[in-house]
Amino acid sequence: MNHNDYALVIEDSISMRKFVSLILRQETNFQHVVEAESPDQALALIQQRPGRLSLIISDWNMPGTPLQKVLQQLQAQLDISAVPLFLLTATGDAQAQQLARAIQAKAVLTKPFNADDLIGLIELHIPIERRRAKRVIPLTRCEVDLGFDPSQQSYIAEVVNISETGVLIRSPIAAPGLSCIYDYVSLTLLPVDGQVIKTYGQIVRIEVDPQRSRNHCNSVLIAFEFGRVDEATLTQLRHYVALNSAHPEDDTH
For residue range 185-225, what is the model confidence (pLDDT) as tens digits? 888 888 876 778 988 888 877 777 777 655 556 788 888 88
**Domain-terminating residue out of 123, 145, 169:** 123
Asked if residue 205 belongs to a domain, the reply is yes
Same domain, yes or no: 18 and 75? yes
Burial grade of 214 (CB within 10 A; 0-12, 13-18, 19 or more): exposed
Same domain, yes or no: 193 and 166? yes
Nearest to 226 by CA among 18, 66, 67: 18
Query: Range of 194's domain?
Result: 135-249
Same domain, yes or no: 242 and 218? yes
**Domain-terminating residue out of 123, 157, 172:** 123
Which residue did the predictor score with more confidence, 35 or 156?
Answer: 35
The C-alpha atoms of residue 98 and residue 80 are separated, in whole angstroms, by: 20
DSSP letter assigned to residue 175: -
CATH value at residue 216: 2.40.10.220
Asked if residue 107 belongs to a domain, the reply is yes
Average pLDDT of the segment spanning 95-124: 85
Instruction: Give the rounded distance of the alpha carbon of 248 from its chain centre.
Output: 22
The model carries a pTM of: 0.67
